[in-house]
Amino acid sequence: DAGVIQSPRHEVTEMGQEVTLRCKPISGHNSLFWYRQTMMRGLELLIYFNNNVPIDDSGMPEDRFSAKMPNASFSTLKIQPSEPRDSAVYFCASRPGQYEAFFGQGTRLTVV
């Protein structure tokens, strides 16, 4: 299995532009998580899905952030418009059942 696949690995964009981060979870995993990691705030849970349904999006910073999971093999996290304070590493993770979550390699986003 290829593991959780995130794309792109690096993204540099200008303030005000739309950014879309993508995630392909491990086949058969029914939970998917999006996290944001910064030095100041650590690893924050943004949103998570069970069986493609958003369960808790209380961690989404503001309306500029949105996430979708149209099917079991794909999820997106969109930021529109992006701001410099959105610069961070964004991780996607998937999990089968209730045990450990498997993380992707992350997307390093820089908004200039």
Partner 1 sequence: AQKITQTQPGMFVQEKEAVTLDCTYDTSDQSYGLFWYKQPSSGEMIFLIYQGSYDEQNATEGRYSLNFQKARKSANLVISASQLGDSAMYFCAMREALRGKLIFGQGTELSVKP
Binding positions for partner 1, rule: CB under 8 A? 31, 33, 35, 42-43, 45, 48, 50, 55-56, 89, 91, 93, 95, 98-103, 105-106
Nearer to partner 1, 54 or 81 (CB): 54
Taking the C-alpha atoms of residue 70 and residue 31, their distance in angstroms, rounded to an integer, is 13
Helices (H), strands (E): how many in the chain? 0, 11
CB of 28 to partner 1, least distance (A): 16
CB of 112 to partner 1, least distance (A): 21
Contact 79, 10 (CB under 8 A): no
**Distances, alpha carbon 26 to alpha carbons 6, 18, 76, 106, in Å:** 11, 27, 15, 15
Nearer to partner 1, 25 or 106 (CB): 106
CB of 105 to partner 1, least distance (A): 6
Contact 110, 11 (CB under 8 A): yes
What the block records as the tokens of 26 is: 């491990």
Nearer to partner 1, 42 or 70 (CB): 42
CB of 70 to partner 1, least distance (A): 20
Nearer to partner 1, 10 or 15 (CB): 10
